[in-house]
Amino acid sequence: MAEQRVVIGVDSSTQSTKALAVDIDTGAVVGEGRAQHTVSTGAGRESDPEQWWEALLEAAARTGWADRAAAVSVAGQQHGLVTLDGAGRPVRPALLWNDVRSAPQAAELRDALGAVEIARRTGSVPTAAFTAPKWAWLRANEPAAADRVAAVRLPHDFLTERLTGEAVTDRGDASGTGWWGPDGYDRDVLSRIGLDPGRLPRVLPAGAQAGAVRPGLPLREGASVATGTGDNMAAALGLGLLPGQPVLSLGTSGTVYAVGRTRPADPSGTVAGFADALGGWLPLACTLNCTLAVDRFAALLGRGREEVEDGGTVVVLPYLDGERTPDLPAASGLVHGLRHDTTRGQLLQAAYDGAAHALLAALGGVLRAGGEDPEGDEPLLLIGGGARGPAWQRTVLRLSGRAVQVPAAQELVALGAAAQAAALLTEEPADAVARRWRTADGPVLEAVKKDDDALTRIGDTLRRAGGLQGAPAEER
């Protein structure tokens, strides 16, 4: 009987690390592990990278396959700024993607180069979420810490380097920094923010091996380690995504994306022109406020998250952490149109609508940026923590007018990382591995008539609230 071949895929996200042990041949999940992180709730959003490393080792061990897995790959939250000293230890906690303190530095970078030029070079107009403004913020606000930095990494880079000892990254995650483009690191951008390119990891080609697991770890010594990638790129791999298939992910942040046939470069800043983890592109729009913001409204209203009611005219813009789409980093939540007969259930439904609206308003731009037809009839793949919630499903159906498919597979980021690891051994493209595993299979919910009245109310409220500047093009 042939020995079972198993790989481990790791998803190091904002609040926890998940690890899946996956059978290479069948795609069956044969072991799972999870460990929590903490995120600061002070002036910004920060985490200690050492927590991620400890959580990775704990989660991998809990799969039951750490000492036997043939290969490993790590996917991580995008954009985070990890600063290391000469010994490879964090100089300070990492600045996370949802830390908006660097909004002034993002504006300075946009003004210095111009939105059209920086989008042409890097694919994206940087917001406070991107890594380049975060480094500029650190230099301006904590110069002593910045002077101690010997190496700058993204979260998945940091973990891959801890596993292998190799300072490497991939094109997908690098494309979310604001300092990388198709020709490599942009030295003009790096010069403007005062970052020596020698502090950055080497960008490996798609499908390359980052190294091997070093001695002294709970994982099998010498096991192959893939390049890894950013969480959104890994989820696209985990779905085996083909060009033109739109994805809406409902998590701490909300994202909408599709694999593109052409390189995106949106000077409006709505669509981030990311690279994927293969050789193509992943145009994407992201919001800061998604499932956690809606859950917060439910808690304030004393309702369960499914206790929504139809009707009413109230509008909620749930921008509790500022917002990225539209680009309003200093925004706060807004409730508009309350009436005597507004119910708590209607107010909660309006929070769902407001959270979903920004993503769906950007969907056409995402598809156009990748050279796809925005009026296509492909079902919208609904993934993430909220995807199985009936209230979220109904909201997306109502506001999109599209059929919605909910993949049965869970933990798609970790599955995408596992597909990367498996590809090292099978010599297939990682997305082909996922398609062979049939990870995107799941029920299709039929399209319903689009709720144009709700969309109009939300759009009008955005304009009245001063959200026109920086809002998605469809709302202008």
- Distance CA(164)–CA(153), nearest Å, equals 14
Mark whether 231 is an active-site residue.
yes
Closest CA to 399 of 225, 256, 244: 256
User: By CB neighbour count within 10 A (0-12 exposed, 13-18 middle, 19+ buried), where does 53 fall?
Assistant: middle
Tokens of 427: 């010599």
Label residue 269 left, alpha or beta by phi (over 0 means left) and psi (-120 to 50 means alpha). Answer: left
Contact at 8 Å (CB) between 433 and 26?
A: no
| Chain centre to alpha carbon of residue 101 | 19
Residues in Cβ contact with 328 at an 8 Å cutoff, skipping those fewer than 6 apart: 319, 322, 467, 470
Q: Closest Cα partner for 169 from 224, 132, 206?
A: 206
Q: What is the DSSP string of 68-103?
A: T-SEEEEEE-SS-BEEE-TTS-BSSPEEPTT--TTH
Q: What tokens does 338 get?
A: 């309350």
Pick left, alpha or beta for residue 226 (phi over 0 → left; psi -120 to 50 → alpha; otherwise beta).
beta
Which positions ≥6 away from 455 have C-beta within 8 Å?
A: 357, 399
Catalytic residue among 231, 327, 353, 431: 231
Active-site residues: which are they? 231
